Chains A and B, each alone.
Chain A
Amino acid sequence: MAIGETDARIAAVGQAVLAADERTAAFLQALADDAVQVAGDKVFIVRDGKGQDPLTGAAVAVPDGAEDVISNNRMRGELDAALAGLKLFSSDDKLRLAAAKALLKEPDESRLALLDKALAVEKVEAIKAQLELARFAVLLGSSDKATRLQAAKALGENKTPQTKLLLSERLGAETEADVKVQLAASLRAIEESLHWGERLGAMFTGISLGSILLLAALGLAITYGLMGVINMAHGELMMIGAYATYVVQGLFRSYLPGAFDWYLVAALPVAFIASAGVGAVLERSVLRFLYGRPLETLLATWGISLVLMQGVRSLFGAQNVGVENPAWMSGGVQLLSNLTLPYNRLVIIGFAIAVLAGMALLIGKTRLGLFVRGVTQNRPIAACMGVNTARVDTYAFALGSGIAGLAGVALSQVGNVGPDLGQNYIVDSFMVVVLGGVGQLAGTVYAALGLGVLNKFLEGWTGAVLAKIAVLVFIIIFIQKRPQGIFAMKGRSAEA
């Protein structure tokens, strides 16, 4: 196997696989790793400078002048396949499955015997199905027409991008007309199913983006929508939330490594309090002097955002910091062959719904919510009724800021955490609030989801940048028709 022409070596490898034992596997692996040397007609496996006899496994000294065995690319492909073939008989279910999948990618008639042998002994259903697929993939290249027909039909049942590739490759090489028809039919069936996967995938990423936008915009819906304060530093409050997550992660890593997976849960209140605290300070020290002067508020909060950004840069450095997904959030559910829903995105969608529900309760059912609504509707009358409007303003602004902090925790799980994190979302989240209409939670929800889904669908056609531009243009046009957003506040005020 080590010496001679490539063709002869490949043939030898093929034979060795059929009569496989552990030694062969080790030797093949060594060949693939370039760890085999020859001296005359003796062959050695050399690892870490120590020689080993491939037949017995006993350690031997490698004579001087031993030469490396060099394998070309063809040989390498063959070796990989052979190793995969060997793994088919491994006792580990996962290894067997992976091997079956690897063989599906490179069908070759020489492996038919191997596959049959593996099929006969396989007991796990999923692996058996995968093996059968690989077998059909091999049969697809068979010289017998009936076998090819059967294989084409069977492969049509398995709707993955890989089978699609196999079938379309075969379609190009096929000469018989009726096999061609069957191939085409199978291909169509697969394409249809894949199409659905893609569409659902776009839908899901759209909803996922929408849920992130929703989280970003919910805080704004309070500060801008209810209080009428343009807070350009909202994005930076989100950034503070994300950095709070980073800090909590660091603390857990050094003091509670055992509970590391749950750091995210602890990060939620920390981020909320951090952002709400900053928000409350801002409101007390700057914003309350600017109520009723929205343009000045805009500029002042922009200044605040610059200061916060630079502050974070001074504290944590200008580079992005790493925030890890906890173990229970990595991975995903596989729904279709080409549609996997990552857990972190699912969790964020759930989280957005929870925050939304919590906020709706808070605004709709509690005393604080009542005060906030009262002050929003008519500040002087609320004050006359004995509501401490200044305090309500502070609470409401802190609440909006805290929700921005929660959004920051969510963002830290799906994107980079850096000083510029907020800047990327500020235009988008304002668009959501503008589109949704001022003073409305429902509008914010619809606008966030609508924009998210619209954005992702357009991305499929036009690419990310043009999709974003198209969405912005759409919003500008939409505002023409409905300056008050999707849900207009009904009122008699002439100056909206």
Chain B
Amino acid sequence: MHKIQLPSTPPLLSGKGWSAFIVALIAVCAVAPVLNLLVPAGSVFHMSDYAVALLGRIMCYAICALAMDLIWGYTGILSLGHGVFFALGGYAMGMYLMRQIGRDGNYKSDLPDFMVFLDWKTLPWHWSFSDSFIATLVLIVAVPGLVAFVFGYFAFRSRIKGVYFSIITQAMTFAAMLLFFRNETGFGGNNGFTDFKRILGLPIATQEMRMTLFVLTGLTLLGFFLLARGLVRSKFGRVLQAIRDAESRVMFSGYSPLGYKLTIWIISAVMCGIAGALYVPQVGIINPGEMSPANSIEMAIWAAVGGRATLVGPIVGAFVVNGAKSWLTVAYPEFWLYFLGGLFIVVTLFLPDGLVGLVKKLKVKGAKS
């Protein structure tokens, strides 16, 4: 009797990987709060509020990049519509934050300001649970998940794939954006939600609250990283990669790709939704612009710059691209689009494996010489 030798499952993280992970964990949970809150403002080691806000925002983007990596890097499905899920999570959170304003708005009404402005007398039905934080947490997961399920089920069932799928997702985010721009939809139209005052009854604009959200985002990012790592090294993850490389062969081997694709699609969407929910209280605004097709494509470039199918890469990519963005849009606003456009071209032409691939290549070269 011959026993088939299955490839052994690699460990969740290598020894080095674990140490890096723990360093990141300490940096997020201990170093950053201490540098921001305890070190006096004049000191060299002080971490400014601006840096906290920026890094907090970028970590939200990194979660999206991670989600993109799962669906694109590992499953080969390029979504140009992940901005929808991000915005849906953000809107779910935004609704709760709007209700938390209470009577402190400009019109001193129980209703959010924009509803008073539109002369609405009662809350529309989809706002019914928005005053409960628990319900909001459920919505943040359920709404993007449900939308992803419906959309994904129909798309994957009729085996739409490749660029077709990408274009349809782009149409989806475009349609959603138009829908949310309408005042009638009940999400504040053009202006979206803003002017948040408090979360869970606590004021939202304090330094401590910002730090709390920052740490929370960091922990979520690290948690999702472990989850993604666990997923891709499991049997499930192996099937996903097989689907990416040769979908027909997977089918001929007796697997139905529908369930696999749908599952990873929903997981990826929910991750984006949670990122959006963390993003909104930190930046203090959510509007339909988040759903514009350009935003969703940018997510793809974060993953591509860092290196697809590496998990670490997309996180690095999100930091590099958004760091460059926040610097360039202030220093050389003219050049930002040239840079971003150039990045798309250079990465696809010369860096198919992204920065991580580049580092690996350099290492191999270094080892040879």
- Chain A residues close to B by CB (< 8 Å): 230, 286, 289-290, 293-300, 302-311, 313-314, 427, 430-431, 434, 465-466, 468-469, 472-473, 475-477, 479-481, 483, 494-495
Contact = CB atoms under 8 A, between A and B. Distances in A.
A448 to B, nearest CB: 16
B68 to A, nearest CB: 12
Interface in B312-369: 334, 337-338, 340-345, 347-349, 352
What 9 pairs across the A-B complex have the smallest Cβ distances? A303-B344, A306-B341, A307-B341, A310-B337, A472-B175, A303-B341, A300-B348, A296-B348, A303-B345
23 contacts: A286-B349, A290-B348, A296-B352, A299-B344, A299-B347, A300-B349, A303-B348, A307-B338, A307-B342, A308-B341, A427-B293, A430-B171, A434-B168, A465-B178, A468-B175, A472-B171, A472-B172, A476-B155, A476-B171, A480-B157, A483-B160, A483-B164, A495-B248
Contacts of B345: 286, 300, 303-304, 307
A310 B301 contact: no
B187 interface: no
B300 interface: yes
Interface of B: 72, 78, 154-155, 157-160, 162-164, 166-168, 170-172, 174-175, 178-179, 181-182, 248, 293, 297, 300-301, 304, 334, 337-338, 340-345, 347-349, 352
A304 B154 contact: no
A479 B159 contact: no
B168 A479 contact: yes
A294 to B, nearest CB: 5
A494 B248 contact: yes
Contacts of B348: 290, 293, 296-297, 299-300, 303
Chain B CB count within 10 A is highest, among A294, A297, A302, A465, for: A302
Contacts of B157: 480
B334 A305 contact: no
Contacts of A298: 78, 163, 166
Contacts of A306: 337-338, 340-341, 344
A282 to B, nearest CB: 10
Nearest to A229: B163
Nearest to A308: B341
Contacts of A468: 175, 178
Nearest to A484: B164
A307 B182 contact: no
A293 B166 CA distance: 13
B158 A480 contact: yes
Nearest to B154: A480
A234 to B, nearest CB: 12
Contacts of B352: 296
B329 to A, nearest CB: 12
B338 A310 contact: yes
A319 to B, nearest CB: 15
Nearest to A289: B349
Main secondary structure of the interface of A (DSSP, over half): helix
A477 B171 CA distance: 12
B171 A427 contact: yes
Contacts of B341: 302-308, 310
Contacts of B337: 306-307, 309-310, 313
Contacts of B347: 299
Given A307-B342, A434-B168, 5 more contacts: A300-B348, A304-B344, A472-B172, A476-B154, A495-B248
Contacts of A296: 348, 352
Contacts of A302: 297, 341, 344
Given A295-B78, A295-B166, A465-B181, A300 B154 contact: no
Contacts of A465: 178-179, 181-182
Chain A CB count within 10 A is highest, among B162, B300, B344, for: B344
A474 to B, nearest CB: 11
A476 B174 CA distance: 13
A82 B25 CA distance: 86
Contacts of A475: 168, 171
Contact of B174 (A295, A313, A472, A477): A472
Contacts of A431: 167, 171
A487 to B, nearest CB: 16
B342 to A, nearest CB: 7
A300 B293 contact: no
A443 B174 CA distance: 24
Contacts of A297: 348
A159 B25 CA distance: 78
Given A230-B163, A465-B178, A483-B160, A303 B334 contact: no
Contacts of B167: 230, 430-431, 434
A310 B172 CA distance: 26
A55 B50 CA distance: 78
A305 B345 CA distance: 10
Nearest to A482: B158
Contacts of A473: 175
Contacts of A313: 337
A292 to B, nearest CB: 12
A230 B348 CA distance: 14
Contacts of B340: 303, 306
Nearest to B336: A310
A80 B273 CA distance: 63
Nearest to B166: A298
Given A302-B344, A480-B158, A494-B248, A294 B175 contact: no
A183 to B, nearest CB: 37
Chain B CB count within 10 A is highest, among A295, A468, A494, for: A295
Contacts of B293: 427
Contact of A303 (B168, B181, B182, B342): B342
A164 B72 CA distance: 60
A475 B167 CA distance: 11
A300 B345 CA distance: 5
A422 to B, nearest CB: 12
A390 B178 CA distance: 41
Nearest to A485: B164
A434 B167 CA distance: 9
Contacts of B170: 427, 430
A466 B174 CA distance: 12
